[in-house]
Structure 1
Amino acid sequence: MELNEEASITRVDEYIELLYEGIPEKIRGSALILQLARNPDNLEELLHNEAALGALARVLREDWKQSVELATIIIYIFFCFSSFSQFHGVVSHYKIGALCMSVVEHELKRHDVWREELRKKNKACESAPENGSLRRDQDKAVRKYHGLLSKQEQLLRVSLYLLLNLAEDTRTELKMRNKNIVGLLVKVLERDDEELLVLVVSFLKKLSIFLENKNDMAEVDTVERLARLVPCDHDDLLNLTLRLLLNLSFDSGLRAKMVEVGLLPKLTALLGDENSRQVALRILYHISIDDRFKGMFVYTDCIPQLMQMLYEHGEEDTEAELLSICINLAANKRNAQLICEGNGLKMLMKRALKMKDCLLMKMIRNISQHDGATKPVFIDYVGDLAAEIRAEEEEEWVLECLGTLANLTIPDLDWELVLKEYNLVPYLKDRLKPASAEDDLILEVVIMIGTVSMDDACAAMLAKSGIIPALIELLNAQQEDDEFVCQIVYVFYQMVFHQATRDVIIKDTQAPAYLIDLMHDKNAEIRKVCDNTLDIIAEYDEEWGRKIQSEKFRFHNNQWLEMVESRQADESEPYLYDNDNDRTDLFYSADGITPADGSVSPDFFNDLQPQNGDMHHTADGSDVFDQTSSSPGRPATAYGFRPDEQPFYQYS
């Protein structure tokens, strides 16, 4: 409402009297008071005028449904008070917040009714396009709808702004949550008014820092409705939308929803926008944590853009956010191939070695783990990486370089030459000592030994250096750590393929005894590697073969032996009736295969080996333990980069 008169603080009583008249007078009176309230200097005096505030609250409570304009003006007056924390008490005293919640809910329902009426008129017009009367009715309805919508959005804007101010107090915010503030705000996201959307997204962003509110947003179509705002021409709205999505992206279910609604290519496109790049990068980082979505980056131009950003940094320190997403994406084979295209790997390696950048080397390490076209490319850099394995270097840096080398299971690589040229054996042996370094570095040394042990000459050189006893000592020290146990056993597995190291392991160490103890470990991966290693030992050493077979016999018949031992210990209380003692047919029998006395010899289990996961023996005498046919893949290590680590940055 436009007024031609200027309000005066000395005439407030006259304006109050207007609030007791009809709707037009109430609108005029409240509009004049609003003029005063918009000047912060008048708020203190209005605060002490209980008659004015009481009358305004009463009129709003009684007449807000009769006039959108009147409701908008009065809520605006209380909004002026809500802009200052010290005046929140008076707004709460008159229960204006609860009233605003009711207003918003009611107006959203009215909007649904308007849209339904408009839909019906559009449908009627479409069914009879030649009917001029229907066309005029439709045009009139559209004009009316837009007029009502404009006024309603003003009311919604001021109501929600007041609620946002009051939500400064978390107790008040909790009351709003109990009245479904999240559901109301998400419904408003359907609107097109950018100023209203800025307010709503700001409110949702504030609410999203609390778990309960985030869960409420997950239950409604929040991400779907935000997706249409990315990108948009309104810079503030885009920025707020991205920051809200960033808060929501900490939830794995909501990350999945973001991918589902097509946000991945939209966010990738924003990497070229200087203003949106940082937030978009952080959201993409969160999406890249999930293995389900790493491969989907292949279908965007994200990786070329990331590589360009890395290249543009030159010798400056690279942003942690940029490196962190690259580390995650490099864990996917197809992504790694894209990264290596052209001179990608050369650029990364040159930068990492020059800057001694641990995060960049971690990315390279992730690339090196993939079989296929990428792994042979690393042959050119084996010397550079091996040269970094020195006691003088930082452990974190050595860990990444060593981890990269350990991944290079390339048949043509002469590991003996590498170990000799860079004098790595003393370093590896020294690092095997318990507590000589951080556990993750010691573990990487074990994995490295497993890799180089594939080479016959290299394995022999390691055996002569005394590394096998050092591994057994480490196994004793780390016997509670499945990761260490599994990787050390894998080293033994690699070494028993070679005559020189096989003899050392079988005749000069107690490694087979340790492996027998681990045959029935609760960890399936350890059991698998142990079984394969013991099968090879049994093939080449009869004495150990008998011990291994005996242990398998004992384990497979454990329950039966326990029952037999229990019967022997309790002869006074026989399990069978006296007259059944001579009934041998009552004992376990398997169609004549198992003797009726219940005894089973160890030889019986030779025929059952394939059923228990043991290796077959071939009749033609061929070497069934040929490494290329029977070698299992190296057990995966849980050390190295963990996608759920988030040490690189904090969110405001």
Structure 2
Amino acid sequence: VKGKDHRTALQNNAFEQKVKGGSLDVHPTEKALVVQYEVEATILGEMGDEMLGDRKECQKIIRVKSLNANTDISSLARKVVEECKLIHPSKLSEVEQLLFYLQNRRKTSGKERREKRVVKPRDLTPFEGMEIDEEANINKVDEYVELLYEGMEEKIHGATLILHLSRNPDNLEELLKNETALGALARVLREDWKQSVELATTIIYVFFCFSSFSQFHGLVTHYKIGALCMNVIEHELKRYDLWQDELCSHGLTVSIVKDHEKAFKKYQGLLVKQEQLLRVALYLLLNLAEDTRTELKMRNKNIVHMLVKTLDRENEELLVLVVSFLKKLSIFLENKNDMAEVDTVERLSRLVPCEHEDLLNITLRLLLNLSFDTGLRNKMVQVGLLPKLTSLLGDENHKQIAMCILYHISVDDRFKSMFAYTDCIPQVTLHLIHLSEKSTEICGLCFSGNGLKMLMKRALKLKDPLLMKMIRNISQHDGPPKHLFIGYVGDLAAQISPDEDEEFVIECLGTLANLTIPDLDWELVLKEYNLVPYLKDRLKPGSAEDDLILEVVIMIGTVSMDDSCAAMLAKSGIIPAIIELLNAQQEDDEFVCQIVYVFYQMVFHQATREVIIKDTQAPAYLIDLMHDKNAEIRKVCDNTLDIIAEYDEEWGKKIQSEKFRWHNSQWLEMVESRQMEEGEPFIYGDDGEMERPDLFYSTDGITPASGAVSPDFFSDPYAQNGDGKHSGGADGFDLTSGTSSRPATGFGFRPDEQFYYDYTSSR
């Protein structure tokens, strides 16, 4: 029975109501008693028989604000029992005990209460139209629900009264039990949200109050309020686009509309109401996004694109919410990729810097999350964020986050030169050495040897890994910067010890490994600081963290440029240790590449060349890796094998034969299959040599005696067709099958895998 019909039914029949008292308890946070009671209502027919009955559990809060340490508990208890008919006189002693407990309960601060209840931010700015003259009463909820069946004004008034109740957390449990009220609100929202922005905002606000507490999320989900909010947001964003198009079609830009005060005020009023609706709807979705499954559903409904589109607004409170939502979403790869597909960085760039401190802070944190993506870092530079971020280094509130983003940008070689057009380097340097940034004399020193001296002195004194990492990055640059380090080689080498912090040693080793300076006497350094035993011990798999072992390999590659150092390393037995490490780390591209580079350096010198060729299986490894899918590894292997082939005739033949087989694999397969079908002798002789003396391998490819080269058989075997197969011939041949790892010995292939190049730890 709805509306007036319901009231008519009650008038024609007798109505009977019984109240039964229940349990007593204290309020968890206030000076109040909570009385639980039960109301049983019955509608009687004309003959006095029961026609309809209902039973409802309720509670009443009795506040005793006057209660203090000097209060007479007995007198107060009697007064409470006398005035509250829900409490039977027999419970007087129980009331006294509860009041005594309240009197002695430790008073908790507002902050402690919030922490205890784990309440999320829920106090939105009151919206226009929410104000009402009357005070909402929890006992009149049914009356408010009846208003939801009337006209639009009555619906808004009834929803507003229920909202005023919902804003008090103490009423949420009571409202939760009233399924009729919640169901009516959900139905009205579903049917009438397009008819009134005020009505939609008010009802969503009611459910937002529930969403502020995790235990009520199931309720909000049950009524599908989240899906409704997604529809509302999408609709309002489209309406905004229509408003903009309409303004443009009439030639009314915002600047011109200002001249038409009436039209401008109307436009502003519509915009304010719409942004209030967007804010409460997005806030509700943000609360529900605690559950990653719910968040995934939002992502599937294009929540990221909606949020990014909202970044064009000027409302700072709305922008704080939108950017916070995007920051939460950005920790998942799929959401980050969605942000990369739209102009997220471009829209965020206009907010850096801004006067709203909270908005600027959350924007920088979102940019920091996005800066882990190479493509998005590129966008940041393109839209001019580099000088903007640099300007924030002088702001204590935002300096740390801005510096983290700048660090990520500085990782890419293509952007390093752009820092020269900002004052980033002087500011960071001055910050590190605790000098005043106003000193022009010191600014000049930052770009000279004295600036490096100050940095090095501080890094060695504090044993600071981060500061040493910065010094290591400086040492990567060719030219004068490397020569500035010659005077500090001894200081750095002295840190290479098992007693030092491993993270600090990694940075010192990396800095030394970057010093590829011909004039540097590495033999003297190795002897003076007894580094060879340390390097050899750290080559053992599992002897240290992989990062440290990798830096040791890189260091060996650097010092092996020196002939006397290479001989010293060969005598120490370091080469077999490197072979063993290659066996252990064959799945790691960077380890393999750096170890092959060590072989490349060592085959230049007679002493180490003989050991590698005669006493180890290194050449066989190199032949295996000659066809590796990693271009860097292939390049170093080819150069190393060319040197080995030049100095050793036997290995030269094996290398030439393997290159021949590789470049002619399709032709060989075709001929072999034809020979097998026709029963002719196998293409290879008993000794494994080819029976085609008219073909040989040269640096330009496989060339027949006539000098002609077949484009079908001798094209680049590493070029990829669109279908992922290598274009070794007219139809191509597929090298994507095979084992999943590099072979330990002999010849073989492996599937393609992406090679990640870390600029911070390798050449």
Which of 455, 458, 479 pairs up with 1:372?
Answer: 479
| Residue pair 1:376, 1:410 contacting (<8 A) in 2 also | yes
CA–CA distance in structure 2, aligned partners of residues 27 and 4 of structure 1:
14
| Residue pair 2:411, 2:760 contacting (<8 A) in 1 also | yes
Which of 168, 173, 184 pairs up with 2:295?
Answer: 173
| Residue pair 2:554, 2:594 contacting (<8 A) in 1 also | no
CA–CA distance in structure 2, aligned partners of residues 400 and 90 of structure 1:
54
| Residue pair 1:490, 1:529 contacting (<8 A) in 2 also | yes
The residue number in structure 1 matching 2:602 is: 492
5 Å-filtered alignment, 1:277-316, equals 277-312=399-434
What SS is found at the alignment partner of 2:194? Answer: coil
Q: Deviations over 1:117-142 (max 9, x none)?
A: 2223335999xx9xxxx997x44322
Q: Deviations over 1:322-365 (max 9, x none)?
A: xxxxxxxxxxxxxxx99753522112221233233444444434
| Residue pair 2:160, 2:202 contacting (<8 A) in 1 also | yes
The residue number in structure 1 matching 2:573 is: 470
5 Å-filtered alignment, 1:240-319, equals 240-312=362-434
- Structure 1 residue 495: Cα displacement: 2.7
What SS is found at the alignment partner of 2:250? Answer: helix
Q: Structure 1 residues 159 and 339 mapped into 2: Cα distance closer, same or farther (>3 Å)?
A: same
Which of 428, 432, 448 pairs up with 1:341?
Answer: 448
Q: Structure 1 residues 340 and 517 mapped into 2: Cα distance closer, same or farther (>3 Å)?
A: farther
Tell me which amino acid in the other structure corresponds to 1:49.
Answer: N
5 Å-filtered alignment, 1:597-616, equals 599=693, 611=700
Q: Structure 1 residues 436 and 487 mapped into 2: Cα distance closer, same or farther (>3 Å)?
A: farther
- Structure 1 residue 488: Cα displacement: 4.1
Given the two structures, how large is their TM-score scaled by the length of structure 2?
0.61
Residue 141 of structure 2 corresponds to residue 12 of structure 1: yes
CA–CA distance in structure 2, aligned partners of residues 381 and 553 of structure 1:
46
Query: In proportion to residue count, which structure has more helix?
Result: 1
Residue 521 of structure 2 corresponds to residue 410 of structure 1: no
Tell me which amino acid in the other structure corresponds to 1:58.
Answer: R
CA–CA distance in structure 1, aligned partners of residues 758 and 435 of structure 2:
23
The residue number in structure 2 matching 1:526 is: 637
Tell me which amino acid in the other structure corresponds to 1:299.
Answer: Y
Q: Deviations over 1:550-607 (max 9, x none)?
A: 66776677789x99x99xx99x96579xxxxxxxxxxxxxxxxxxxx9757xxx98xx
The residue number in structure 2 matching 1:116 is: 245
CA–CA distance in structure 2, aligned partners of residues 83 and 20 of structure 1:
28
Tell me which amino acid in the other structure corresponds to 1:344.
Answer: G
The residue number in structure 2 matching 1:649 is: none
- Structure 1 residue 145: Cα displacement: 0.6
CA–CA distance in structure 2, aligned partners of residues 27 and 639 of structure 1:
59
Q: Deviations over 1:398-432 (max 9, x none)?
A: 55445544443434445565556x26476479659
CA–CA distance in structure 2, aligned partners of residues 141 and 429 of structure 1:
78
Q: Deviations over 1:446-479 (max 9, x none)?
A: 32541332xxxx46xx74x684473554465456
Q: Structure 1 residues 11 and 527 mapped into 2: Cα distance closer, same or farther (>3 Å)?
A: closer
Q: Deviations over 1:240-274 (max 9, x none)?
A: 22222223333333332222222222222222222
What SS is found at the alignment partner of 2:251? Answer: helix
5 Å-filtered alignment, 1:70-109, equals 70-109=199-238
- Structure 1 residue 57: Cα displacement: 3.0
- Structure 1 residue 146: Cα displacement: 0.8
What SS is found at the alignment partner of 2:561? Answer: helix
Which has the bigger relative contact order, CA under 8 A and spacing at least 6? 1
CA–CA distance in structure 2, aligned partners of residues 395 and 23 of structure 1:
71
5 Å-filtered alignment, 1:398-547, equals 400-415=507-522, 418=525, 422=528, 424=530, 427=533, 438=544, 439-440=549-550, 442-444=552-554, 446-453=556-563, 458=564, 463=567, 467-468=570-571, 470-474=573-577, 477-478=580-581, 480=583, 482-483=592-593, 485-496=595-606, 511=614, 520=623, 522=626, 523-532=634-643, 535=646, 537=647
- Structure 1 residue 641: Cα displacement: 6.8
Query: In proportion to residue count, which structure has more strand?
Result: 2
Q: Structure 1 residues 303 and 96 mapped into 2: Cα distance closer, same or farther (>3 Å)?
A: same
Q: Structure 1 residues 243 and 610 mapped into 2: Cα distance closer, same or farther (>3 Å)?
A: closer
| Residue pair 2:513, 2:554 contacting (<8 A) in 1 also | yes
What SS is found at the alignment partner of 1:74? Answer: helix
Moved more, 398-407 or 3-12: 398-407
The residue number in structure 2 matching 1:45 is: 174
CA–CA distance in structure 1, aligned partners of residues 299 and 422 of structure 2:
38
Q: Deviations over 1:470-525 (max 9, x none)?
A: 355446545646446534434434434xxxx6xx966x996599787677451431
What SS is found at the alignment partner of 1:5? Answer: coil
Tell me which amino acid in the other structure corresponds to 1:450.
Answer: S
- Structure 1 residue 20: Cα displacement: 3.0
CA–CA distance in structure 2, aligned partners of residues 398 and 280 of structure 1:
28
Structure 1's unaligned 5+ residue stretches are 315-336, 538-543, 577-596, 614-637, 646-652
Q: Structure 1 residues 51 and 299 mapped into 2: Cα distance closer, same or farther (>3 Å)?
A: same
| Residue pair 2:509, 2:555 contacting (<8 A) in 1 also | yes
| Residue pair 1:402, 1:448 contacting (<8 A) in 2 also | no
Moved more, 518-527 or 269-278: 518-527
| Residue pair 1:349, 1:364 contacting (<8 A) in 2 also | yes
Q: Structure 1 residues 186 and 56 mapped into 2: Cα distance closer, same or farther (>3 Å)?
A: same
What SS is found at the alignment partner of 2:170? Answer: helix
- Number of residue equivalences: 540
5 Å-filtered alignment, 1:93-242, equals 93-122=222-251, 138-242=260-364
Given the two structures, how large is their TM-score scaled by the length of structure 1?
0.70
Seq. identity, %: 57
CA–CA distance in structure 2, aligned partners of residues 470 and 141 of structure 1:
87
